[in-house]
Amino acid sequence: MVITRFAPSPTGHMHVGNLRTALHNWMWARKQGGRFLLRIDDTDAERSREEFVDGIRADLDWLGLGYDGEERQSARFDRYEAQFQALREAGRVYPAYETPQELDLKRKVLLGRGLPPVYDRAALHLTDDARAALEAGGRRPHWRFRLNHDAPIGWTDHIRGEQRFDPSRMSDPVIRREDGSWLYLLPSVIDDIDMGITDVVRGEDHVSNTAVQIQMFEALGATPPAFAHEALLTGSEGKLSKRLGSLGIAHFREAGIEPQALVALLARIGTSDPVEPEPDAGRLAATMDFARFGRAPARFDESELATLNAKIVHQLPYDRVADRLPSGMGGEAWETVRPNLSTVRESADWWRIIEGPVETGDLSEENEYLEIAAEVASEIDWSDDPWHALTGALKERTGRKGRALFLPLRRALTGLDHGPDMAALLPLIGRERAIERLSA
């Protein structure tokens, strides 16, 4: 069974890049009939907040991305410790004592010589006495995972194809800090093993992490999952945008964006499939194919999202929006104004036009015509199709047609030059309000 996971750190609100990662893991699991798990990576006790955990759950719920289980890294420290000790006994982790300043100096020296800034493994050559002297002087070690330089790293990526890394050209990664706290790499591998993760979808900025983690899987006697590294999002200006790092669910909800629109856009940008106003995430999942993911950065454009949102809104049935509509607005009114909306909240503007009063501006040049219209409106049958009855009678009586016939009526009745079909709108305005507006 395919099992994917979404593993956010609760150190802030999720942004649009996180949402895309969660969505693609969810889609892949749903397409394969598998499971999608939520893992809260809360090893950073200082920065992790329970309010952000609640926000992550709420955001996934708003998007309709149900998950099939949840784990918390903060509840698994004993497991990490046990696996860490096993790796230590096997000689795959070792203590290192360099300060950040010393490491930075080493990197600068190597770069100055035109060499890659790879850690020189100096800590492996320290004697027991040297280590004891450092610790006696107040140094505490950080811990590195020892890469196997004799085992080339490779995997077939779902998106990037064949990947090859030479471990001798990579630094042994730090997996544990001086204070004993964990960095991302090793706990994630331990969790993926224990949770039975078979597939990991994440950003291409994790490719080098994947390379070292594959050796961690093997050192722990496990088969690595399959990986898919997707192109990163860029802003509408075509560059990696800091703004994307601040665009979260709150921003989209405040803008009136429907979750279906956000899902439909994030599901397809960066692929060769067209972005379509598909309101059913399950149907989107059924079309997911890593072969259609491109290597070029995926462009996230808020104007495209707004256009897509309007198309989604035009498909929403009344029962999906009833609790968000103005008091008193029923299904008939929703069906009438819906084609003119970009967001559901704009329905309130049209409801005010239906209920009145409306500001019409200066219609003094049309006073005589509108007086006749008010008189006709009081005489016609309102039970069937009052708009065509009204305009038909006015055409006969005044000889007007086209714009001269229709536009003054629309302006007097709605205060606007455009809007929903008046044949549908006029019955909602009703006989009394219509006569009053025409008479005004």
Question: Residues 6 or more apart from 113 whose CB is under 8 A from it?
Answer: none
CA distance 217 to 198: 12
242 is in an annotated binding site: yes
Question: Residues 6 or more apart from 145 whose CB is under 8 A from it?
Answer: 87, 92, 93, 172, 173, 175, 185, 186, 212, 215, 216, 219
CB 206 within 8 A of CB 229: yes
- As a whole number of Å, the end-to-end CA separation of the chain is 70
CB 234 within 8 A of CB 299: yes
CB 21 within 8 A of CB 201: yes
CB 87 within 8 A of CB 145: yes
Q: Which one, of 132, 133, 106, 102, lies nearest residue 117 by Cα?
A: 106
Buried b (16+ CB within 10 A) or exposed e, 265-289: bbbbbbbeeebebbbebeebbeebe
CB 246 within 8 A of CB 220: no
Question: Residues 6 or more apart from 297 whose CB is under 8 A from it?
Answer: 231, 232, 233, 234, 238, 240, 270
CB 1 within 8 A of CB 29: no
Handedness of CA 71, 74, 79, 80 (dihedral sign): positive
Peptide bond into 357 cis (omega under 30): yes
Which amino acids are annotated as binding site, given as ranges? 242
Which amino acids are annotated as binding site for ATP, given as ranges? 242
